[in-house]
Amino acid sequence: MINYNRNIFNKIDNEEKAYWLGFIVADGYLNINKHMLRIKLGNRDRSHLIKFIKFVGGNEEMLKSEIHSETGNENFYVSLYSKEVMNDLLSLGIEQAKSGKEKVCNIDKKYYRDFIRGLWDGDGFIRENLSGIGLVGSEEVLAFVQNYFNDSLGVKPLKIYPHCNTFKIEYRSTRKAIPLILNHLYGDKDVALDRKKELATKIEKIC
């Protein structure tokens, strides 16, 4: 049995826990019957899974890989089999199915910024040509994020659009909002997806 902190999500009492909680809402998968949490990412984000392993106090033996049957690309994943982790995530409001009905987790307001950065790293996007940024998720999650940006940054809410079986918001028309949001989420934070933080820094320098 690989040792790690099975009570890591028992209490969301620091920024790093809030970040990973948001990332799990966006990119995690729960199997309730197996008491399993799995996070699977592409090869380019392998290092992010290493960060997660260190966060839970595990070791790199937890990192596994597989070849996608259709694309032939290599994916990496980490699985936690734990009743404690499962029960804590369920009690925080995370559900098994990714159905476009994801909920906002019940955490202290002082950690909203980190929770949203986790969401953005999992289901957000920064266009490679740096022309826009956005987030995909449930209506509840997107409304929560927009209300936070409005209250904290004065960035007015956008229309929430249907997107496949879920919803999307995108900031494109206002150059002031984009660097403001990205600097707020990534500016002085170390726990983030490296490639998105790099793009965020690039936008801040241009705008």
DSSP string, 171-194: E-S-TTHHHHHHHHHHTT-SSS-H
Phi, psi (degrees; rounded to nearest 5) at 164? 55, -120
Structurally, what CATH architecture does the domain formed by 109-206 represent? Roll (3.10)
CATH homologous superfamily for the domain 15-91 = Homing endonucleases (3.10.28.10)
* Cβ contact 21:105 at 8 Å: yes
Question: How long, in residues, is the chain?
Answer: 207
pLDDT one digit per residue (tens) for the chain, 207 residues: 789 999 999 999 999 999 999 999 999 999 999 999 999 999 999 999 999 999 999 999 999 999 987 888 899 999 999 999 999 999 999 987 666 778 899 999 999 999 999 999 999 998 877 788 999 999 999 999 999 999 999 999 989 999 888 999 999 866 688 989 999 999 887 899 999 999 888 876 655
Q: Which two tokens stand for residue 103?
A: 């909920």
* pTM (predicted TM-score): 0.94
Domain boundaries, the chain: 15-91, 109-206
